[in-house]
Chains A and B, each alone.
Chain A
Amino acid sequence: MDLHQEHGQRAVFCGLTGIVWLHRKIQDAFFLVVGSRTCAHLIQSAAGVMIFAEPRFATAIIDERDLAGIADANEELDRVVTRLIERRPDIKLLFLVGSCPSEVIKLDLSRAAQRLSRHLAPVRVLNYSGSGIETTFTQGEDACLAALVPELPRSSSEAEPSLLIVGALADVVEDQFVRMFSAMGITDVRFLPARRAGAMPAVGRNTRYLLAQPFLADTARALDERGAHRLAAPFPLGAEGTTGWLQAAAEAFGVTDESFAAATAAGRARAQTALAAHRVSLTGKRVFFFPDSQLEVPLARFLARELGAELVEVGTPYLHRAHLAAEIEMLPAGTRVTEGQSLDDQMDRCRATRPDLTVCGLGLANPLEAEGLSTKWSIELLFTPVQGYEQAGDLAELFARPLRRRALLEV
């Protein structure tokens, strides 16, 4: 790996964006951003039409009067939250989500959360920061899950080892993994976050955890502090990543090679079949990643090794060397990885190398398309089920589709 670090203008989402998928995952949680009109506008823009479906997120917009005195802001927050909980009695878990404005005026949301937890029991109130000054895009999920960890029940230290999967996954993907682990004989499998606030997994010295996502640095640290052990693994993207990820659990739980092979054989075979269809369009294609989600390194590994793509540059907002050790190991030798961003310089490099496919955010995609570059907008990789064997083909399809479309269009 040829690592570069870059500083300058960054075109990335802030951590508030994580609310868009987290609120779908934890079905009785509400996310209340304490911020400005900009924060509300951001979530509205990012959530698109989802905002009308079943809103379990909102913004308490700080106004001038709140800025005049912090004590007043606390009273205001209590008023807003109390009213919200009255209107939504189905809510069991409320996250107060910090933003840039609330961090800069040092509004103490952790004290507010404690205070409100007492007032609103049995509703639990937690807080984390999704501010842009502290978090980039998916780090919002990390901050949210890390806030949950101290709240998790303690599991008995004598209990049999249990497996914890960390990172929000689509329900369908969770269910597939449960079946696969079960076939190997690993039956006690839990997920963080759970689908409901009251069903969050217990954690303790018997907990072995697998990260399902590469952006969970703080959550992992919090789990380690509770005595849990991380199983080092690549991330379950593509057939190879999924196998490596499952293998890490299998080894930790003493699953025999035969049993592992039997449990995974069908999935591996299906993934290979599905991937073969896309290899034709992606082999030899030069791919450029702009930084976005920290998924870039595992995705680049998948594209290079399983689909034969060439990597021009792999940008990532942050590179966690330990969690990505297995991924870095598998990257083609000499792959240029850029941590951080200087947007205009990176766009210059992208234009100069004219990649076949550029993976980037929605603010850049159309401008680059208009310059004749094919793009894959990156947010979809967060909203679409892409992990595991059954989704390997879908994941490849996400990258193949823009190329196929470009070839199709005659005008």
Chain B
Amino acid sequence: MQLTLWTYEGPPHIGAMRIATAMTGLHYVLHAPQGDTYADLLFTMIERRDARPPVTYTTFRAQDLGRDTAELFKTSVAAAYARFQPQAMIVGASCTAELIQDDPGGLAKALNLPIPVIPLELPAYQKKENWGASETFYRLVRALAGAPGPRPAREPGRHPLCNILGPTALGFRHRDDLIEIRRLLDTLGVDVNVVAPLGASPADLGRLKDADFNVVLYPETARSAAEYLKKSFGQPFTREVPLGVGATRRFVAEIAGLAGLDPAPLLEGPGSRLPWYSRSVDSTYLTGKRVFVFGDATHAIGIARMAARELGFTVVGLGTYSREFAREVRAEAAEHGIEALITDDYLDVEAAIRAAAPELVLGTQMERHVAKRLGIPCAVISAPIHVQDFPARYAPQMGFEGSNVLFDTLVHPLMMGLEEHLLGMFREDPEFHDGVGPSHLGGNALAVSAPQESEAADPAPAATAAILLDEDVVITAAPWAPEAEKELKKIPFFVRGKARSNTEKFARERRLPLITLETLYDAKAHYGR
């Protein structure tokens, strides 16, 4: 058993729902107890969909368990087929139905429906949402893409043709990423055959094999299906994920290579505003800003890379809850000279953020709340997300416009350079003292100074959020001499936590009995910046 408050991912059948809801002409019959219909509201509320997800639940109850839940399942499948007349169906069990061991696949097959009915095996006690989405998409592609075989050669004069794989319902910015990537492909002269799962019908999956290659936008959902298409139809697929300017350029070059086209028109075009914005002197203060990145593997890797290479930040923490992609994240972390954090326990993430003392946190909804509690600026770069991260406006993450969006997203939470400068110059001034924090964070100003100023002395956070604190982080250190303590407060608050922990570490390693002014500056010289 695992004690869990927050989960980064839902159970695997939620992943299957994300595929079913993304598609058209597909219906999902889920063997599940009453109550599991809560999942509908993720789609109708968070993503604000205007129709119910195409999911029928058996909603069995205790009295049904004594009777025949298998019969209930069959009736539900038959009724769903009669009512919705889908082109294909997927059937499966949620966690509870997995325990009662009816066989959704076998039961549905016995009905002999005139459409493909694809059974899903989603082990709810081992796997999670993204795996469920990936597996569902893979099973659908396997069942509906047709018999494996060689592709006919491209007719002369025809534009190269690709599929775009990966966008789902409830995906972080999938809607706008897709628009952006379509625009890139259009400019290159590549035609799009099928986009799947988002907007595709089962019949469309039958046309996947017509494409020359596949563009994989989100490996979490689409890599298994792409591997299958590669094996069955010899379609190569893209490995680069176009997050950031550099990755977008590499992505364009990769596609041009696969399509046999010249990438120059696109690479020499206007591109993104990010490079100039990042080079403008206003951005100088961003240099070396300590950033902690956590999210799904794709976003964590892509955004850590762009944060370091395109904004000049220092990545001091990098992690993911996607265990399936731990290897890739570890490799990226090594590039930044750090060790990756692979965990789905947000308490571990919180402890790691505290330990790394970043100036900016880039993460999921959960990191947003952790950062708020710690008084650190934060931006959301990955699912899971709340309703505000399904914006009405155009807000891709990918491609050149996505890079513009990311520049704004990553810089806005930080204090403006001038504001930071004023804080340094007028530290004792009542309006610019270092407790006020960035002006645009408004009411958060008090929280900014509280955790670092009096972490040990202030009992309030410990009492209200004790479950969130990891005792391991609390370290016993040499006491601070009053004048050293006073000097520490003169250091801007956003680096003070780091200065404090560095000094204490320095003192501990040297077994110093007291931290004096000299210790503070010795440590500063020792660690540098």
Q: Which of B52, B83, B125 contacts A36 (CB 8 A)?
A: B125
Contact flags (1/0) for A169-192 with B, using CB distance below 8 Å? Answer: 000000000000000000000000
- The docked-state distance in angstroms from the alpha carbon of A13 to that of B57 is 13
Chain B residues within an 8 Å CB radius of A37 = 4, 7, 9-11, 95, 124, 128
The distance in angstroms between the C-alpha atoms of A84 and B127, with both chains bound, is 25
Smallest CB gap from B471: residue in A: A87
Which range holds the interface residue count of chain A? 35 or more
Q: Which of A10, A64, A100, A364 has the most CB of B within 10 A?
A: A100
Question: Which of B11, B35, B51, B128 sits near A370, CB closer than 8 Å?
Answer: B51
Q: Which of B38-46, B353-361, B408-416, B418-426 contacts A (4 or more CB under 8 A)?
A: B38-46
Please provide the chain B residues from 1 to 35 with a CB less than 8 Å away from any CB of chain A in the complex.
Answer: 1-7, 9-11, 13-14, 33-35
Interface membership of A61, Cβ < 8 A: yes
Bound-complex Cα distance A66 to B50 (A): 40
B35 partner residues in chain A, CB cutoff 8 A: 12-16, 42, 100, 131-132, 136
B68 to chain A, nearest CB (A): 14
State which of A72-80, A203-211, A242-250 sits at the interface with chain B. Answer: A72-80
Residue of A nearest to B64 (CB): A133
Task: List, in ascending order, chain A residues with CB within 8 A of B468's CB.
Answer: 55
Chain B interface residues (CB < 8 Å from chain A): 1-7, 9-11, 13-14, 33-42, 44-45, 48-52, 56-62, 64-65, 76, 79, 83, 94-96, 99-100, 123-126, 128, 369, 373, 386, 463-468
Please state if A41 and B51 are interface contacts (CB–CB under 8 Å): no
In the bound complex, do residue B4 and residue A59 qualify as a contact, i.e. CB atoms below 8 Å apart?
A: yes
Tell me if B34 and A55 are in contact (CB < 8 A): no
Please count the residue pairs between chain A and chain B whose beta carbons lie under 8 angstroms apart in the complex. Answer: 187
Interface membership of A272, Cβ < 8 A? no
Q: State which of A43-51, A327-335, A385-393 sits at the interface with chain B.
A: A43-51
Query: How far is B37's CA from A36's CA once the two chains are assembled, in angstroms?
Result: 15
CB <8 Å contact, B96 and A363: no
In the complex, besides A13-B35, A37-B4, 15 extra interface pairs with C-beta distance below 8 angstroms are A14-B38, A38-B36, A46-B38, A48-B386, A58-B5, A59-B4, A60-B2, A63-B125, A67-B99, A100-B33, A132-B35, A133-B96, A136-B34, A363-B38, A363-B41
Closest chain A residue to B100, Cβ basis: A104
Whole-angstrom distance from the CB of B287 to the nearest CB of chain A?
32
The CA-CA distance from A48 to B56 in the complex, in Å, is 24
A79 vs B463: C-alpha distance when bound (angstroms): 22
> B44 is contacted by which of A34, A40, A366 (Cβ under 8 Å)?
A366
A401→B83 CA distance, assembly (Å): 34
Q: Can you show 29 pairs from A to B with CB atoms below 8 A apart?
A: A11-B59, A12-B34, A13-B35, A14-B33, A37-B10, A37-B95, A38-B10, A38-B13, A41-B7, A41-B10, A45-B42, A51-B6, A52-B373, A55-B467, A55-B468, A58-B467, A60-B1, A60-B2, A60-B4, A62-B1, A63-B1, A80-B2, A89-B466, A90-B463, A132-B59, A132-B96, A136-B35, A363-B41, A364-B44
Decide if B38 touches A13 in the complex (CB within 8 Å).
Answer: yes
Inter-chain CA distance A364–B51, complex, in Å, is: 8
A380 at the interface (CB under 8 A from B): no
B437 CB to nearest chain A CB (Å) = 20
